[in-house]
Chains A and B, each alone.
Chain A
Amino acid sequence: MKRYVIQQMALLCLVSVIMILTNLIGYDMPLTDSIIGILVLDGIALCGLAISKYMSRFIHLPSMMYVSLTALLLACPISPVQAWIVETTSQVAFMAPVTALGAFAGISLSKDLKNFVKMGWKMVFITLLVISGTFIFSALVADVVLKLTHAV
């Protein structure tokens, strides 16, 4: 458990450097605020991952769920630290982690390229349909329900 937390902390620190760079270069945010904001996000992420690791003994749920729930509880209206959390993290662009994510996702997919080339055009076409279908039907249902419930 302790080893897992230390390992994740080290990895988070590493990727945070890239996020701070993106925040500076891509979104022109100030350096000190970026560092503080990312550190707060890292802290929350680490708590969530630790809880997830602990809970995985009982029930297996995606670790990202614990991370976002921890953040949600800390930032909800009844939380005593809400103002501070929202304030410090506001200087981190939502898209700041995205470039790093793309880089890692690209590196990760590079091992699949050989298999990809072997796939016929039919599978590529079906995949495009599957992704389009998932996106468009979800948008359709969401749109209809949003309008029926007068949420927009």
Chain B
Amino acid sequence: MKNAKTMVRKYWKVYVAAVVLAVICDMIGTVKINTGIGTLTLFPMVFAVILGGLLGPDVLKLLDTEQSKAGGTLVLVVLAPFMAKMGISAGANLGKLVSVGPALILQEFGNLGTVFLSLPIALLLGLKKEAIGACYSINRDSNLGLTTDIYGPDAAETKGTFAVYIVGSVIGTVFISILAGVVASWNIFHPLALGMASGVGSGSMMLAATGVLGEMYPAYADDIMMLGGTSDMLTGITGIYMGTFVGLPLARKLYAWLEPKLGKKKHRKGTK
């Protein structure tokens, strides 16, 4: 059983760290802070992300890069039972799922809306071709693969995707849990719509968002989880195609149209 030995060596430290983190964070529990823009709900998960981040090779050096990568593998393992729970909920409420089906499918296109918001601002900030890679999607693992595949590892577009990928993995879960709480407190979207929106294509971000939403709307908590999970699954399946055939072409068109206007304005300001 040489195989088992290498596995033990690879995972034991990561595992012990995770057990300790989970117990500490669960004992802290959910913390709610009232702020001016709404209630900030901090889950044990958020504490676990922050503390886990500190353990790695760059801060406390308790875990090396190899072990940090093993942590990434285990994220998927933990996601599997959650997806099973989500599937059970979806199966048991099949009628409900079908009735919201059109919204669930069409909101996948809403993921592309971010191009219209972020690309013009990226250009105003002076970004060039990186803006295409940075703004066409939420830039999780599959998108990073896609941009690298299309433009090559050294292209400006890929650098943009990579930047958003890195920033997203570091602050994504914490940020989206704050965002979900703030948007929910506006009271303009139905809780179920917010649940669907949580499926952005990253399991950990989805759980962070649906967790906060479930806390805010206890009556809808299970439906929010189910819809967030289903939507995340849909994004996982459609994401690559959406990116290839809609997201990237859209970002390129918008870039070609806006860059001369916004880019120039920036340039003129610079020469004055």
- Smallest CB-CB separation from A27: which chain B residue? B26
Interfacial residues, chain B to chain A (CB-CB below 8 A): 3-4, 7, 11, 14-15, 17-19, 21-23, 25-27, 29, 43-59, 63, 65, 67-69, 71-92, 94, 99-100, 102-104, 106-118, 121-122, 125-127, 131, 134-135, 137-139, 163-164, 166-173, 175-176, 179-180, 183, 188-190, 192-194, 196-200, 203-205, 207-209, 211, 214, 221-222, 225, 229-231, 233, 236-237
Could you tell me if A68 and B207 are in contact, using CB atoms closer than 8 angstroms? no
Could you tell me if A77 and B94 are in contact, using CB atoms closer than 8 angstroms? yes
State the Cβ distance, A133 to closest chain B Cβ, in Å. 3
> Most chain-B Cβ atoms within 10 A of its Cβ — which of A89, A122, A139?
A139
Q: Which residue of B25, B107, B237 is within 8 Å of A65 (Cβ)?
A: B237
> Most chain-B Cβ atoms within 10 A of its Cβ — which of A61, A65, A107?
A107
Interface contact tally, CB-CB below 8 A: 432
- Chain A residues with Cβ below 8 Å from B45 are 98-99, 101-102
Could you tell me if A142 and B192 are in contact, using CB atoms closer than 8 angstroms? yes
- Smallest CB-CB separation from B118: which chain A residue? A129
Could you tell me if A70 and B214 are in contact, using CB atoms closer than 8 angstroms? no
Could you tell me if B179 and A134 are in contact, using CB atoms closer than 8 angstroms? no
Is A57 in contact with chain B by the CB < 8 A criterion?
no
Could you tell me if B189 and A143 are in contact, using CB atoms closer than 8 angstroms? yes
State the Cβ distance, A10 to closest chain B Cβ, in Å. 7
Interfacial residues, chain A to chain B (CB-CB below 8 A): 3, 7-8, 10-12, 14-19, 21-22, 25-26, 38, 41-42, 44-45, 48-49, 61-65, 67-77, 79, 82, 85-86, 89, 92, 94-95, 97-116, 119, 122-143, 145-147, 149, 151-152
- Chain B residues with Cβ below 8 Å from A101 are 45, 75, 78-79, 82, 203-204, 207
If A127-B171, A140-B189 touch, does A65 touch B236 (CB 8 Å cutoff)?
yes
- Chain B residues with Cβ below 8 Å from A26 are 26, 29, 44
State the Cβ distance, A139 to closest chain B Cβ, in Å. 4
Could you tell me if B167 and A48 are in contact, using CB atoms closer than 8 angstroms? no
- Smallest CB-CB separation from B162: which chain A residue? A115
If A127-B171, A131-B168, A139-B194 touch, does A11 touch B74 (CB 8 Å cutoff)?
yes
Q: Which residue of A102, A115, A129, A137 is within 8 Å of B110 (Cβ)?
A: A137
